[in-house]
Amino acid sequence: MFASVLTAAIHGMEVYPVRVEADVSNGLPSFTMVGFPSAQVKEAQDRVRTALRNNGINLPPKRVTVNFAPTDIKKEGAGFDMPVAASVLAASGIISPNVLEGVMLAGELSLNGEIHGVSGILPMAVRARELGCRYCMVPYHNLREGALVPGLEVIGVRTLREMITYLEEPGRFRSDVAYEEESCVPNHADFSEIKGQEGARRAVEIAVSGFHNILLIGPPGSGKTMIARRIPGIMPELTYEEGLELTKIYSIAGQLPEGNPLIRSRPFRSPHHTCTPLALTGGGRNPRPGEITLAHRGVLFLDEMPEFSRRSLETLRQPLEDKEICLSRAGGSFRFPANFILAAAMNPCPCGFYPDMNRCHCTAGEVSHYIGKISQPLLDRIDICTEVPAVTFSQMNQPSEGESSARIRSRVQHAREIQLARYAGENISFNGELQGRQIRKYCPLSPEAERLMSRAFEKMEFSARSYHRILKVARTIADMDKSAQICADHIAEALTYRSFDKKYWV
């Protein structure tokens, strides 16, 4: 007898429907799996047979053949256990093959028949809705994740027996679990704890308001890391669509939080400087999102940036420009979203005190080698470069607290609303995402600003990319001033954030 059921395979960020076909026929007892399954998927035959036996279900001593169609896609992961079990049960006549029509299944079986959660349920459920499935059956552990998809019935099962019961009589069980918004106030460190550093605080606010990349340069202990780790507290709120997009990424990566899967705060990723290029970009035999993609819609913070390997840093160039990363492997090409703020911190030299020659003990060659770890093409992709000087005793000892994150965030949110309204038809959300034609359209300069920009371009020998990034930063500063036109003051401030790289990288 023949039976089949629908499931899905995830390659990169793409979800491919897979039909699991089972045939039980006369012949020597065997269990064969074909259709390009990985070794991990082939192990499902032992898990399924043992789980069925431990639940009092004995398969007939016949030839069992399971096929995964289409056969040109590699099948990997433990999520194929449930569809294999269901198709074999139907092909054996234990359940009716008709109950599997229009149903998508995914889940991992244990040897005693319990069903464990798997990664990637949210994108699978989205695909099931697109295919017009009647309902989607998933592990109970993943039920809240699947319930995020509107317009699709999602059933969560804990055991093999429950799976069989609900397949035969789905009317007995309908999932009433829908995603409910829970009040959650993230406990971010507050900017009020920062003493002094008004210039760096202003630069960070501009960077977050327009989604610009930022580099903080200063001596050890000046507060670079402390400032960067407070960025999440001033970032604008995620829209529901952005949260769902992030949840899909983290679902595929297997990093969704327990209990409340919908991501509602922007990510802040801070990999160690020993992070490899593969860990940054993502990859593997079946590519999974790396740190670059996990920072999508949020911040990727590189502390002690020159300590990262040159190869790791250079991998950032393409995603910083294209807002996505394309990985080419023998098995195909995979595209991952990568629209993030790059926030980096570094010392100006190995000892950290250059250009104060009274305290710096580095040779000219050591300083040049250290600074040279960050290439000019990568530096060109950083919109804002600012110094974070050492804090004085009077600043540290001042009794009053600095401005709170809540007040800064309110200004950032206002600038965000201005940009959302301006770019409603452009498929972008922030000034930092502007490209070519859009820059000319949305960055009008006043006559004074145009003259200032012309003089600065000739004197400071900016590249075309640097010129465009100055305009984008000036556009954000103008939005923060509620100005429709970019004025000379806005250009002047934006230029100061490109002058420090000329100071160190000469």
For residues 163-169, average pLDDT: 91
Confidence class for position 182, pLDDT limits 50, 70, 90: low
Q: At what angle do helices 447-460 and 488-504 cross, to 10 degrees?
A: 10
Residue 427 has what pLDDT?
A: 87
Please provide the average confidence, as pLDDT, over all residues in the chain.
90
CA distance 97 to 88: 10
Per residue in 54-112, pLDDT tens? 999 988 899 999 999 999 889 998 899 999 999 999 999 999 999 999 999 999 999 99
CA angle at 56 for the pair 55 and 61, rounded to the nearest 5°:
120
Continuous segment of H or E residues that includes residue 59:
none
Tell me how far CA of residue 255 lies from CA of 15, 33, 294, 296, 414, in angstroms.
18, 30, 9, 14, 31
Which range has the worst mean pLDDT, 27-41, 259-273, 346-360, 460-474?
346-360
CA distance 285 to 41: 14
Query: What are the phi and psi torsion angles at 288 (to 5°)?
Result: -120, 160
Please report, rounded to a whole number, the percentage of residues in the chain having pLDDT higher than 90: 68
Full set of structural domains in the chain with CATH: 2-172 (3.30.230.10), 191-425 (3.40.50.300)
Residue 183 has what pLDDT?
A: 47
Tell me how far CA of residue 125 lies from CA of 48, 131, 381, 393, 468, in angstroms.
23, 10, 37, 57, 41
Query: Can you give the pTM of this predicted structure?
Result: 0.90
Residue 454 has what pLDDT?
A: 93
